[in-house]
């Protein structure tokens, strides 16, 4: 368990480092699609909603909260990717 | 099996982020990210789709549909608001997850703090984003810095309170639901207050920052529910949001702390002009342009507000038909979002190769015949180079004042976001065309037919 | 165990990715010190020699092999870092 | 505790690699890497230093000392050999570790293949590096491509053999010691043969490639002994070696496969010159230089061989005293190692700001009065631009032929590494100074005193 935790910490660091490095060389033109794309990715918390939904048990109240999280995250993901696609489409037709 | 899918999904997320870095690969980046997300979601079900009831699937379906509809409806000029709103959603979702986990009494001790952190950040992101969107829409303009000061001063005792409360009334070790809800309230108020003090034009920075926070919230949610993909994707978003925020700040020559402290542009400076500007008419501009060999258009916030993109395209076509060279000079923080001008111009099919960055175009201005400044102000203010007392001193600007002729299209002499006068307007080689950006351009194009 | 293995694989990927990204933007002037520095790092296998030395048991033959590995790796590390230092010293006095 | 140290050490390794990327931070990078390595080694002992006997500590101590002595003694021009040799040591160490683990019968099945891989790569790196060093020292010049072809053709059956052997004579599942040793032999021969076919001047690429392999060997050793730090550091070296190899290949406009296939420069091309070059004397060069306002020096492989750095510095001082502008044009693959020229020049205190990369200096050549090409050849060969049939066609070169005057200092008309004639030598604005680079320069400097 402790090893897993430390490996996880390491992964967190490595992923953050990669995020930082990759973005620090992005050209300004792509800042809008990038913001919109990474915004969509932040909806990844949908996974958490899926994972815990079967475990909330009886409580209707908690169920509704998980469903709310589910809805918010789904809108974030689907809407985010779809709007990023629209933005990028505008660049693409230029090529 | 599931683990291998997740491994693959992590790898895809990283390559997606990498591909976002080049214009030629950016659209593939989105496909990669969607694929990665799809795999991650799929694997979360762990091949057992029957564990979920119909309410669950209906919720996913309906909100997915909603997401599509919203994203298809929104106009490109409203992009910043939309990104801001979605951000808030992501943060809110993470916060809600953390709350649910916290209200279970089975959470291991070490996860408690991570969960409270995730909940607070998530809720802060949610309410902060809503305020940011309202500000971007111009629905909230007042300056709330006194409220913020009071709130910040009272925050430490407010945070201590539940500890006392819980130790008095709670038997087992842990945290009471009431305290949780109290924390949520504090985070929500915190988000509102913090964003409320920041000026409307700094909202792009705020949104990038909140984007980073929503990533961090997701990452910490990943620690609670033990999902490595959540951690990786969250960390990627968190880190990329931070660096984006820093890049934006440095393009305005300010630090992130200065931006988040708020109150920028509220100090009054001398905004009087020594002399009257020379104003011009659409007809004169058309004549002037028809004698030019090279024209540079500088779009700004006003261009976005006036939705003048189509008119810009029309003027560009007219000029190109006359064999006049047309370039676009895009300042990194022109408009309401970094890179926003590029998107708006791309929307009306303006050639990617015709858009120049600050460094590229600044070398050329001295050989340009006519520059059209279209609803831009601060990004062409020469005081940034010359006046050390100016709030924008040191910000890299477009040196349009070096061009032979400058035409500024805006509605009045009123200042831009930084709230300071712009000596460019009264330069000898400057002329003002007082008009809404869209209407002004349309009149210029029309005048061409008469020339 | 399986989880640990997969986390390890992930870390391998992340570290390789970082290595690739970081070096792809290095200026030519620094190629020599970089090669020499990363060469020193490749002596990290010294760790493996340390880890397995107490476990080789009776066999004198295997012991000698581990000691050989130990010696080679140590020379690689110490010599590598020392020479990299020398190279960088030459750049430093220029500043 | 140990795990936290290792975590910290990994982080340090990564930051070290990042800091290596900028000249201003590179020396800190080395400190970081040393610190990271120190922590990693320390933690490997797991606070139990008594488990190890004195032979162990003596070995570490003596070889550490040896490392220091070698590294202090070596001359900067021998850098490539040294790096090559150390590489081989690293690879050999990993290979030896893998062998020891394999000869234990307790290794879990899944680790068998990783260990065999690690052993093979390590041994290959070892023998390949030794050959590379011999080639760099000029001790091995012949072309061994027929042997290589034969070996490659027989490799598959040679690899199958032990499988048959083991299945016949081995009772338990696994691998016999004999087979292991046979594999080691094959790997060693493989390394020798593979490197032997590659031309001496491609050795820098080979060394970077072997560096990458030694990282990969360390990484796979990490999988066997379950050490995460080994995996991370190994992966970092493996990946950085690969990209460095690719960067070098692209600077020569060749693919990595073309380089590793070997045989470059062995095809005979027409090396006749249409006319005789104009030769000049040190005295004439001195006179010519004293009338120049701007001089560019292009150092090449010959400068390194002749150890002419100090003489270069002397000439530079002489010229600067006369207010003549002196710049250095450094081609990415000039010399025997990428960036090697920069190091050699820095060794004699030549200013970092005076060294220009290919892109920077190529814009300027047309306004330069005199270019001194010092033991360089291929990197200034204009055929790379003009002759599609030339083996170096497409390689970016220094356009010295655009300068007003070019003086080439080398011992004869013989070709460089690529084995082709260089029309620059018979250009109208070129003059040859036939001399050893060091002696030639010294004579020029001496002549100045007479001017
Ligand atoms: N893009 C970003 O990411 C970002 C982030 C943070 C801060 N900012 C800040 O935002 C500012 C951006 O500079 P900017 O030059 O683009 O904008 P600006 O300096 O804010 O000026 C915009 C100008 O547009 C004019 N305008 C408004 N509506 C118009 C309309 N319908 N038609 C024509 N003109 C109109 C306004 O003048 P009138 O009212 O007279 O028409 C105003 O002076 C900078 O100060 C920057 O620091 C940007
Ligand atoms: N640097 C790298 O990383 C790297 C890697 C792979 C391949 N290469 C290859 O190596 C070559 C490097 O180009 P280069 O222009 O530097 O060298 P080059 O083309 O190999 O020519 C070197 C010249 O130096 C002269 N020379 C040798 N000893 C000398 C001495 N003592 N005094 C004066 N001159 C001497 C030789 O002519 P004389 O015999 O007439 O004196 C020879 O023509 C390129 O072909 C490149 O592709 C380099």
Structure tokens at B292: 């030019």
B59 C-alpha to ligand 1 centroid (Å)? 40
Q: Which residues lie closer than 8 Å to D356 by C-beta, 6 or more apart?
A: D327, D328, D329, D330, D364
Catalytic residue among B202, B378, B399, B436: B378
Nearest to D93 by CA among D112, D74, D121, D66: D121
In which band, very low, low, confident or very high, does the pLDDT at A94 lie, cut at 50, 70 and 90? low
Instruction: Give every CB contact of residue B304 below 8 A, 6+ residues apart in sequence.
Output: B77, B335, B336, B340, B341, B344, B375
Alpha-carbon distance values, C4 to A2, B13, B236, D233, D366 (Å): 11, 21, 22, 18, 61
- Please check the confidence at residue B218 and state whether its pLDDT lies above 90: yes
pTM: 0.83
Neighbouring residues of B216: CB distance < 8 A, sequence distance ≥ 6:
B121, B234, B238
For residue C1, the model assigns a pLDDT of 43
- Best of C30, C47, C61 to disrupt the D interface (most D CBs within 10 Å) is C47
Is residue A32, in this structure, part of any structural domain at all? no
Q: Is the pLDDT of residue B144 over 70?
A: no
CA distance D448 to D315: 9
Q: Say yes or no: D170 contacts chain C, CB-CB below 8 A.
A: no
CB contact, 8 Å: C4 with chain A?
Answer: yes
Q: Is the dihedral of CA D26, D28, D34, D38 positive or negative?
A: negative
Q: Which domain holds residue C78?
A: 59-86
Pocket flag, ligand 2, residue D300 (CB < 6 Å)? yes
- Cβ D328 vs Cβ D344: under 8 Å: no
Query: Which chain A residues are within 8 Å of C19, Cβ to Cβ?
Result: none
Q: Across the interface, which of B211, B233, B350 has its CB nearest the CB of A44?
A: B233
Residues of D with active-site annotation: 378
C33 domain residue, yes or no = no
Q: Residue B138 above 50 pLDDT?
A: yes
DSSP letters spanning D109-161: HHHHHHHHHHHHHHHHHHHHHHHHHHHHTTS--S--HHHHHHHHHHHHHHHHH
Name, in order, each residue with C-beta under 8 angstroms of D295's C-beta and a sequence gap of 6 or more.
D289, D319, D324, D325, D326, D327, D368, D369, D370, D371, D372
User: For chain D, which residues make up each domain, given as ranges?
Assistant: 74-261, 282-450
Chain segment D413-432, per-residue pLDDT in tens: 988 877 788 999 999 999 99
Position A69 in a domain: yes
Instruction: Tell me if B227 sits within 8 A of C7, measured CB to CB.
Output: no
Determine the length of chain A.
Answer: 95
Q: Is B416 in the pocket of ligand 1 (CB under 6 A)?
A: yes
What the block records as the tokens of C70 is 């130990």
Q: Which two tokens stand for residue B236?
A: 């990627």
Angle at D120 between CA D118 and CA D126, to 5 degrees: 100
Q: Determine the distance separating the centroid of ligand 1 and the alpha carbon of C11, expressed in angstroms.
A: 45
Q: pLDDT at position A27, please?
A: 82
**Hey, is the C-beta of C67 within 8 angstroms of any chain A C-beta?**
no
Q: How much is the pLDDT for A1?
A: 44
Tokens of B302: 């006003």
**Residue D395 alpha carbon, nearest atom of ligand 2:** 47
Chain C residues 35-94 with a CB less than 8 Å from chain D? 35-54, 56, 62, 65-94
Q: What is the pLDDT of residues D188-220, one digit of tens each?
A: 998 988 888 887 667 888 999 999 999 999 999
Residues pairing with B405 in the sheet? B370
Contact B52 A23 (CB under 8 A): no
Q: Which two tokens stand for residue A81?
A: 């990717």
Judged against a pLDDT cut of 90, whether residue A20 lies above it is answered with yes
Return the best residue to mutate from D211, D416, D418 for the ligand 2 pocket (most ligand atoms within 8 A of CB).
Answer: D416
Residues D120, D115: Cα–Cα separation, whole Å: 8
Number of domains forming the structure of chain A: 1
CA angle A25, A29, A31 (to 5 degrees): 65
Whether the Cβ atoms of residue D16 and residue D32 lie closer than 8 Å to each other: yes
Read off φ and ψ for residue D293, nearest 5 degrees.
Answer: -105, -30
Taking the C-alpha atoms of residue B437 and residue B418, their distance in angstroms, rounded to an integer, is 20
Average pLDDT, chain B: 87
Task: Give the residue ranges of chain D where pLDDT is below 70.
Answer: 105, 141-145, 162-175, 200-201, 263-271, 451
Question: B89 pLDDT exceeds 80?
Answer: yes
Whether A13 is in a domain gets the answer no
Q: How far apart are CA D215 and CA D237, in angstroms?
A: 5
DSSP state of D430: E
The two structure tokens encoding residue B301: 């916030």
Give percent of chain D above pLDDT 90: 54
Better-predicted residue by pLDDT, D3 or B211: B211
D297 CA distance to ligand 2 centroid (A)?
A: 15
Q: Are A50 and C47 in contact (CB under 8 A)?
A: no
pLDDT tens digits along B428-451: 999 999 999 999 999 999 998 876
> How far is the C-alpha of B338 from the C-alpha of A7, rounded, in Å?
36
How far is ligand 2, taken at its centre, from the CA of residue D377, in Å?
Answer: 6
Give pLDDT, residue D31. Answer: 95
Q: What angle do CA B131, B136, B139 make, to 5 degrees?
A: 70
Which chains have 3 or more CB–CB distances shorter than 8 Å to chain C? A, B, D
Ligand 2 pocket member D374 (CB < 6 A): no
The chain-wide mean pLDDT, for chain A, equals 89
- pLDDT at residue number B145: 66
- Interchain contact, D3 vs A2, CB within 8 Å: yes
Query: B377: CA distance to ligand 1 center in Å?
Result: 6
Identity of the residue in A10, A17, A21 whose CB atom sits nearest the CB atom of D7: A10
Which region among A43-57, B187-201, B272-286, C63-77 has the lowest average model confidence (pLDDT)? B187-201
The answer to whether the CB of B442 is under 6 A from ligand 1 is: no
CATH H superfamily, domain D282-450: TPP-binding domain (3.40.50.1220)
Torsion of CA D54, D59, D61, D67, to 10 degrees: 180
Which of B3, B21, B22, B236 would you mutate first to test chain C, the one with the most C CBs within 10 A? Answer: B3
Q: Does D contact B via 3+ CB–CB distances below 8 Å?
A: no
- The string of pLDDT tens digits covering residues D45-97 is 988 888 899 999 999 999 999 999 999 998 877 888 899 999 999 999 999 99
- Which residue in chain B is spatially nearest to A79 when comparing CA positions? B67
* Contacts for B49 with CB less than 8 Å, ≥ 6 apart: none
CA B341 to chain centre: 12
- Chain C nearest CA to D103, separation (Å): 9
Residue B267: CB within 6 Å of ligand 1? no
C75 assigned to some structural domain: yes
Question: Is the CB of residue D379 below 6 angstroms from any atom belonging to ligand 2?
Answer: yes
Contacts of A10 in chain C (CB under 8 A): 11
Query: Where residue B143 falls among pLDDT bands split at 50, 70, 90?
Result: low
Question: So what's the pLDDT on residue B271?
Answer: 65
Q: Which atom of ligand 1 is nearest to the CA of B248?
A: 3
Whether A75 is in a domain gets the answer yes
Instruction: Look at residue B412 and give its three-state secondary structure.
Output: coil
Contact between chains at D3 and A14 (C-beta distance less than 8 A) = no
pLDDT at D266: 53
| A31 contact B CB<8A | yes
Check pLDDT > 60 for residue C93.
no
| ipTM passes above 0.95 | no
Per the model's pLDDT, the better-predicted residue between B451 and A57 turns out to be A57
**Residue B385 vs residues B267, B379, B397, B416, D321: alpha-carbon distances, Å:** 20, 11, 8, 17, 38
């Amino acid at each position: 368990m402790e090893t897993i935790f430390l490996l996880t910490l390491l992964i967190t660091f490595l992923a953050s480092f990669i995020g930082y490095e990759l973005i620090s060389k992005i050209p300004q033109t792509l800042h809008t699609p990038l913001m919109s794309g990474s915004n969509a990715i932040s909806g990844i918390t949908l996974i958490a909603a899926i994972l815990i939904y079967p475990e909330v048990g009886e409580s209707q109240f908690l169920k509704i909260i998980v469903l709310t999280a589910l809805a918010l995250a789904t809108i974030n993901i689907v809407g985010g990717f779809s709007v990023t696609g629209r933005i990028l489409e505008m660049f693409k037709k230029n090529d | 099996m599931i683990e291998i899918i997740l491994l693959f999904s992590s790898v895809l997320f990283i390559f997606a982020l990498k591909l976002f870095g080049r214009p030629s690969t950016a659209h593939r980046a989105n496909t990669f990210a969607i694929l990665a997300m799809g795999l991650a979601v799929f694997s979360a079900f762990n091949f057992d789709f029957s564990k979920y009831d119909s309410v669950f699937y209906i919720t996913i379906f309906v909100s997915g549909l909603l997401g599509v509809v919203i994203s298809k409806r929104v106009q490109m000029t409203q992009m910043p608001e939309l990104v801001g709103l979605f951000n808030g959603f992501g943060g809110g979702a993470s916060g809600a997850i953390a709350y649910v986990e916290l209200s279970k009494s089975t959470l291991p001790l070490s996860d408690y703090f991570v969960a409270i952190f995730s909940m607070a950040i998530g809720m802060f992101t949610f309410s902060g984003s809503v305020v940011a969107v309202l500000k971007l829409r111009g629905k909230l303009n007042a300056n709330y810095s006194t409220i913020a000061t009071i709130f910040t001063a009272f925050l430490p005792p407010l945070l201590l309170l539940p500890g006392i409360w819980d130790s008095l009334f709670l038997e087992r070790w842990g945290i009471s639901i009431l305290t949780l809800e109290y924390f949520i309230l504090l985070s929500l108020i915190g988000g509102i207050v913090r964003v409320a003090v920041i000026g409307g034009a700094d909202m792009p920075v705020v949104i990038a920052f909140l984007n980073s926070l929503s990533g961090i919230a997701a990452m910490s949610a990943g620690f609670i529910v033990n999902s490595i993909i959540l951690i990786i994707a969250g960390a990627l978003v968190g880190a990329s949001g931070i660096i984006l925020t820093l890049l934006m700040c440095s393009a305005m020559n300010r630090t992130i702390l200065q931006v988040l402290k708020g109150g920028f542009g509220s100090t009054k400076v001398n905004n009087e002009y020594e002399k009257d500007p020379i104003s011009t008419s659409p007809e004169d501009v058309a004549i002037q342009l028809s004698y030019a060999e090279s024209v540079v258009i500088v779009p700004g916030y006003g261009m976005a507000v006036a939705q003048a993109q189509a008119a810009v395209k029309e003027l560009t076509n007219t000029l190109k038909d006359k064999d006049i060279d047309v370039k676009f000079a895009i300042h990194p923080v022109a408009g309401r979002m970094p890179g926003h001008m590029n998107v708006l111009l791309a929307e009306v099919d303006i050639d990617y190769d015709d858009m120049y960055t600050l460094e590229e175009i600044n070398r050329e201005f001295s050989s340009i015949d006519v520059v059209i400044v279209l609803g831009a102000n601060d990004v062409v203010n020469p005081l940034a180079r010359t006046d050390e007392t100016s709030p924008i001193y040191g910000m890299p600007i477009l040196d349009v004042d070096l061009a032979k002729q400058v035409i500024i299209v805006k509605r009045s002499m009123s200042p831009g976001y930084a709230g300071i006068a712009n000596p460019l307007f009264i330069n000898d080689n400057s002329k003002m065309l007082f008009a809404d950006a869209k209407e002004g351009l349309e009149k210029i194009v029309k005048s061409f037919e008469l020339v």
